[in-house]
Amino acid sequence: MRSTRFRADLSTLWLLGRPVHHSLSPLIQNTALELLGEKYLYLATSVEDKDFTRVVETLPLLGAVGANVTVPYKLHAYRLCHHLSPEAQVMGAVNTLHFREGRVEGYNTDGLGWWNALGEQCPPSQRENALVIGAGGATRAICHTLLSQGGRSLKILNRTLSKAEALKDELLNHYPDAEVEVRPLTDFCALLEGQGLVVQTTSVGLHDEKSPVPLPSQWPENTFLSELIYGRTTALTRRASELGATVQDGLGMLCGQAALSLSIWLEREPSDIPLNSMLSAARAVVNKRREEFGT
């Protein structure tokens, strides 16, 4: 496609958040749009709190087709939508806006995007018994998705037990047949055996080599580790890999949710979206940054 800078026939897609200058989303989305030959340009802009509503109201007037919404606006976006997908309704948060037929439609692709990106490395049968570390915003998307996709047993480990208990109550409200247990972070090693999947969803390890849980001395043979942090090797992923675990970092979730958002805006099947190329483009940039900054 001729350089997008010179074209006058493009529709726009946006990332709205604050800050957004570090985001990989423009790279990931524009990689896919170019491969698909679609006449769209994906841009990121930082938005002030007082302007968010006006920005969402104005973008469709400028011909924008949709937007991703990131921190701190997922709840704000949820409140602005005229129509919500079942996932957005359940999670009370929106990460994808679709401007369609004069309405603002809200979706949440975080959970299913993460689920899709697990792929064959962690087959669905292995996701039935899961241990999730954390009880924040990202954890909600993961837990709702695990249980809505047929998960049976979930252990939630968190520093603040009351937050994990609140999440458990919310989950049991939606999935009354599920087994949901809350435990302290210190129980991690004792609970590891028998889990098909471990998901690390806390922000611990984002900036340093700390682990939210005690590091194990053994890792069960068929337990997959999904770490939501990307861009650095965390203490937990390092130890699990050394012990033979199969590990996926947070680029899987980032690209998975991006691919689903794109399928909504383009009104194409998720299988049409080149997820692997999006992942490769993101991985190349992350690896280059790591070489430069030595993380």
Q: Which is nearer to ligand NAP, 60 or 248 (CB)?
A: 248
With vertex at residue 294, the alpha carbon angle to CA 288 and CA 295, rounded to the nearest 5 degrees, is 95
Judged by CB under 6 A, the chain residues 247 through 266 that form the site for ligand NAP are: 250, 253-254
Q: Is 294 left (phi over 0), alpha (psi -120 to 50) or beta?
A: left
User: Cβ of residue 3: shortest distance to ligand NAP, in angstroms?
Assistant: 29
Q: Is 74 a catalytic residue?
A: yes
Could you tell me if 58 and 33 are in contact, meaning their C-beta atoms sit under 8 angstroms apart? no
Measured from the CB of residue 102, what is the shortest distance to ligand NAP in angstroms? Answer: 31
Instruction: For the segment 225-244, give every residue that binds ligand NAP (CB under 6 A).
Output: 228-230
Q: How far is the CB of 57 from ligand NAP (least distance, A)?
A: 26
User: CB of 54: closest distance to ligand NAP in angstroms?
Assistant: 25
The answer to whether 137 contacts ligand NAP (rule: CB under 6 A) is yes
How far is the C-alpha of 224 from the C-alpha of 244, rounded, in Å? Answer: 10
CA distance 264 to 93: 17
Instruction: Specify whether the CB–CB gap between 79 and 43 falls below 8 A.
Output: no
Map residues 185-224 to x or -, x wherever contact with ligand NAP holds by CB under 6 A.
----------------xxxx-x-----x------------
CB of 200 to ligand NAP, least distance (A): 8
Contacts of 251 (CB under 8 A, 6+ apart): 230, 279, 282, 283, 286
* Alpha helices in the chain, H assignment, sequence order: 25-36, 52-58, 74-80, 86-91, 110-118, 137-148, 161-174, 188-191, 235-242, 251-266, 275-293
The DSSP call for residue 168 is H
285 contributes a contact to ligand NAP by CB under 6 A: no
By the rule CB under 6 A, 163 interacts with ligand NAP: yes
Q: How many residues bind ligand NAP (CB under 6 A)?
A: 22
Amino acid sitting at position 198: V
97 vs 259 by CB, closer to ligand NAP: 259
Nearer to ligand NAP, 60 or 212 (CB): 212
Please give the structure tokens belonging to residue 133: 């570390």
Token readout for 189 is 């090693």
Which residue's CB atom is positioned nearest to ligand NAP? 136
Of 20 and 99, nearer to ligand NAP (C-beta) is 20
- CB closer to ligand NAP out of 4 and 23: 23
What residues contact residue 203 under an 8 Å CB cut-off, 6+ apart? 136, 229
Report the interface residues with ligand NAP, using CB under 6 A. Answer: 134-139, 158-160, 163, 201-204, 206, 212, 228-230, 250, 253-254
Instruction: Name the residues annotated as catalytic.
Output: 74
